[in-house]
Amino acid sequence: MTKIDAKYIFVTLKRGFAVIQSLPGFKDILPNETRKWQFVENICRDIFESFAYQEIRVPILEKAQLFSRSVGNDTDIVQKEMYTFKDKSDQFVTLRPEGTACVVRALIQHHLIHEGMHKFYYIAPMFRYERPQRGRFREFHHLGVEAFGESSPYVDAEIMEMNAEILKRLNMDVRVEINNIGCRKCRPSYTKVLREYLMGKKELLCEDCQRRLDTNPLRILDCKKESCKKITAFAPSILDYSCDECRNHFNEVQRLLTKMNIDFVVNEKIVRGLDYYTKFVFEVISDKLGAQGTVSAGGRYNDLVEDLGGSPTPACGFAAGEERVIELFDYKEDDKFVDAVVIPVGKDTSDFSFLLTGDLRKEGFKVEFISSGSLKSALRKANKWKAKWVLIIGDEEIKENTVSLRDLEKSVQKKVRVEDIISVIRQGLDE
């Protein structure tokens, strides 16, 4: 008989019903992986909070126009990737593809700056209808921060310092690429030159980029197609068209990065996949992730708050893709999730064992109570869960006010008086 690997059975038939599978690009994060996720999230939380960022939680669903007005009508995200649909009251809503626009909406709606809140972080799922592949999912998670109200390069430097700190704490080998994409004053002159340069090569560009030539030529620099990349490789540099203000800002950020010993290279082709950026932008890239090499990205967006109806407020932020961070970060898996297992074996020992389990939990131990089955199967479970301690309680133990305490790591077992259990577990059993 041919052996069929369960992995390749996409839809299994069971009692005549198709077993429902998750959607393509949507992943379950199972208990043997969540520990790694928690580890990464705790490190990021620690770092964000040490830089005085506060957590914000915004809705997953927003009005569709929030993203077309901020991310930009001509971006891949808005053109192709958004989960947009009409809800039951006939309004277009979108599963958020990114967090910045949502945080800006909340900032304006709740007058957060007046309330003394100006630096935010979030660890949250995002949704984009992309082709699922390594490092690219339809539901993925951003570890993101947004800082409002400061145009000083120290904020940009702080954003980079947080990135460097995350990379250091997770021991990841990456490179940092930065660029200056100018502002509304200086960018139009570059856009004009870029359009003129690309006009002569229009027929060599992909269909999307041919359209972008009219609507938003800068987007062409972000095209992932090799044929377009070949053409843009020799395009004029945006850095040559920068105004003094943008150039000074960029120089200052570079000076601070050097002072902080953060290595970087300037890549004048980085424009980011979203329209709202101004001045400083960056990407943190790994060579170990295949085609999806960008782990973290962000920059300044000085006009977005005003564009979404708020008062002019400079801002800067970034988001790291948690799935890509998780893939890069080498975590020593520890599948131990209980310290002790309590097993009642006598006729009338369950209530006592159950209450003792509660006492141990209150002392901070992770404890599982096994309420049924044989001693043999309970011990098998304790081994599988890598518990150090097993507490076996039979009729005899109840009579003697003791517990048979077994150390599974050292393979020793002793009877211990009930009142001594906690201190013995803390100190260890004598052999």
Which residues would be at the binding site for ligand ATP (CB under 6 A)? 98, 128, 130, 135-137, 140, 142, 273, 292, 294-297, 319, 321, 323-324
Tell me the residue number closest to ligand ATP, measured at CB: 321
Q: With beta carbons less than 8 A apart as the criterion, state whether 172 and 325 touch.
A: yes
**Near Mg ion by CB under 5 A, which window of 50-58, 271-279, 309-317, 335-343?**
271-279
Residue 297 binding: pick among ligand ATP, Mg ion, none (C-beta 5-8 Å cut-off by kind): ligand ATP
Cβ proximity to ligand ATP, 135 vs 217, nearer residue: 135
140's CB contacts (< 8 A; 6+ apart) are: 125, 126, 128, 321, 322, 323
Span of 206-214, 216-224, 266-274, 279-287 interacting with Mg ion by CB under 5 A: 266-274
Q: How far is the CB of 144 from ligand ATP (least distance, A)?
A: 8
Residue 384 and residue 406 in contact, taking contact as beta carbons nearer than 8 Å: no
Least spacing, CB of residue 294 vs Mg ion, in Å: 9
User: Smallest distance from the beta carbon of 113 to ligand ATP, in angstroms?
Assistant: 24
> Residue 119's binding partner, choosing from ligand ATP, Mg ion, none, with beta-carbon cut-off 5 to 8 A by kind?
none
Q: In sequence order, which residues have a C-beta less than 8 Å from that of residue 98 and are 6 or more positions away? A: 67, 71, 77, 126, 142, 274, 319
C-beta of 47 vs 295, nearer to ligand ATP: 295
User: Least Å distance between CB 129 and ligand ATP?
Assistant: 9
- How many other C-beta atoms lie within 10 A of the C-beta of residue 312? 9
Could you tell me the smallest distance in angstroms from the CB atom of residue 302 to Mg ion? 23
From first CA to last CA, the distance across the chain in angstroms is 52
For Mg ion, the closer CB: 25 or 149: 25
Find the radius of gyration of the CA atoms of the chain.
Answer: 28
Picked from Mg ion, ligand ATP, none, the partner binding residue 321 (CB below 5 to 8 A depending on kind) is ligand ATP
3-class SS of residue 262: coil
Which pairing describes strands 54-55 and 119-127: parallel, antiparallel, or unpaired? parallel
Which is closer to ligand ATP, CB of 77 or CB of 408?
77
The total of other beta-carbon atoms located within 10 Å of residue 294's CB is 19
Q: Which is nearer to Mg ion, 94 or 357 (CB)?
A: 94
Tell me, what amino acid is at 175? R
In the bound complex, what is the minimum distance in angstroms from residue 226's beta carbon to Mg ion? 17
CB of 322 to ligand ATP, least distance (A): 8
In which element (H, E) is residue 232 found?
Answer: helix 226-232
Coil vs helix vs strand at 328: helix
Residues that bind Mg ion (CB under 5 A): 273
